[in-house]
Amino acid sequence: MNFFAFDIRKLLIVVAVIALPILSINMKRNPGEDPWYRRPFTWIVAMSQGGYSSFTSGVRGTTSMYLNLVGIKKDNQRLGRENQELRAQLAASTELKLENERLNQLLEFKLNTKMKLLAAKVIARDLSPDHESIRINRGYRQGLRKLMGIITVEGVVGYVLSTELDTAQILVVTDRSAAVDALVQRTRARGLISGKDSNAIRLRYLQRADDVAVGDAVVTSGLKGTFPKGFPIGKVTTVRKTDFGISQEAMVEPVVSPSNLEEVFVVLDSGGEDFNEKLQTGFGPPLLSKMNPPGGAPASTPDGARKTTP
């Protein structure tokens, strides 16, 4: 056997096969750049991968769209329900916010007055549309007595007509049977308030010579302590004076509308409160504050005397 008698071609091939990987490993590469010989392959692979990717994502998209369509009705119903719930929650929140504002206003009023007040909620109205009475959720167990005054932050509501254990019937000033002693704030002319209908009350038994004008504020006289003195009842809208007789009558627009009442105060004790004095500090019901801005002239004469024109 001729040990050296080998085929030179085969030897070269073997050497080349062994050397190529070694050469390849040791070849210096530029990072981020494919060698020239690989580029066509890379291009083909990239194209193929792109094609597959587009195809599979297309298939996946179509499948998921189909699956979504199957579930979309359920989602729609669920979202609809959620929307309704959120709307209801929003309405409840708005209602709570408004209630909170009202109660804050009531609290502020209660804290800034000498009166002993008891907050109450309106729970019912009168059976007949021709009568103006309400029922509140406070009765004689909470200290309510007949003829106690009922007010809101804006003005006079009425007075207690009858009491039960935990409720009381209130006669609103707009009822035709109601009667409240009143003064015209500007001139201290005294009269008697009685109801006409839900939007109007009458100021009766004014002396013929009394000075009463449209726009005058009508306030409580504070007589008997049922109401604080000078608390608003309404605003004069018309004055009627006949050619004969000893008295005149004025129509008054009440500051409190019985149809909008929700929370009220029961005046357990008026504590000698006088809102004519309060006007100097700017505190008081909106009507009085509007008509008598703080720092302006006092609403009443210093001695509270009744001024009449001849």
Partner 1 sequence: MKKYALLTTNIALFLLMALLLAAGQTSFWLQLFGSFPAPALWMPVLVYLALFRSTMMFIVLSHLLAIALASATTMPEALLMITCLAVGLSVQTFKTRIYWSATTYFMMISGFATLVFHIYYFIVTWLLDPNPITSPSISAWIIQALLTPLFAPLFFPLFRWIDAITEHSEPPEISGAYQP
- Interacting residues toward partner 1 by CB under 8 A: 122-133, 135, 161, 169, 171, 175-177, 194, 196-198, 200, 259-260
Which DSSP state fits 229?
A: B
Give min distance, CB of 83 to partner 1, in A: 24
**Locus of tokens 């009491």:** 163
Q: Are 236 and 184 in contact (CB under 8 A)?
A: yes
Q: Rank residues 105 and 137 by Cβ distance to partner 1 and give the closer one.
A: 137
Handedness of CA 169, 103, 196, 185 (dihedral sign): positive
Of the pair 161, 218, the CB lying nearest partner 1 is at 161
Which residues, including other chains, have CB under 8 Å from residue 157's CB and lie 6 or more apart?
134, 150, 151, 170, 172, 173, 256, 258, 261, 264
Least Å distance between CB 125 and partner 1? 5
Task: State the nearest-atom distance from the C-beta of 104 to partner 1, in Å.
Answer: 22
Measured from the CB of residue 110, what is the shortest distance to partner 1 in angstroms? 25
Smallest separation, CB 142 to partner 1 (Å): 19
* Pick 201 or 219: Cβ nearer partner 1: 201
CB of 181 to partner 1, least distance (A): 17
| 3-class DSSP state of 200 | strand
Cα Rg of the chain, angstroms: 45
Q: What is d(CA 95, CA 72) in angstroms, rounded to the nearest whole number?
A: 34
DSSP string, 2-63: -TT---HHHHHHHHHHHHHHHHHHHS---TT---TTTHHHHHHHHHHHHHHHHHHHHHHHHH
For partner 1, which is the closer residue by CB, 94 or 259? 259
**C-alpha span between 222 and 181 (Å, rounded):** 8
* Nearer residue to partner 1 within complex by CB, 171 or 252: 171
CA-based nearest residue to 144, from 113, 169, 111: 169
Nearer to partner 1, 172 or 219 (CB): 172
User: Minimum Å distance from CB 80 to partner 1?
Assistant: 25
- Residue closer to partner 1 by CB (options 132, 273) is 132
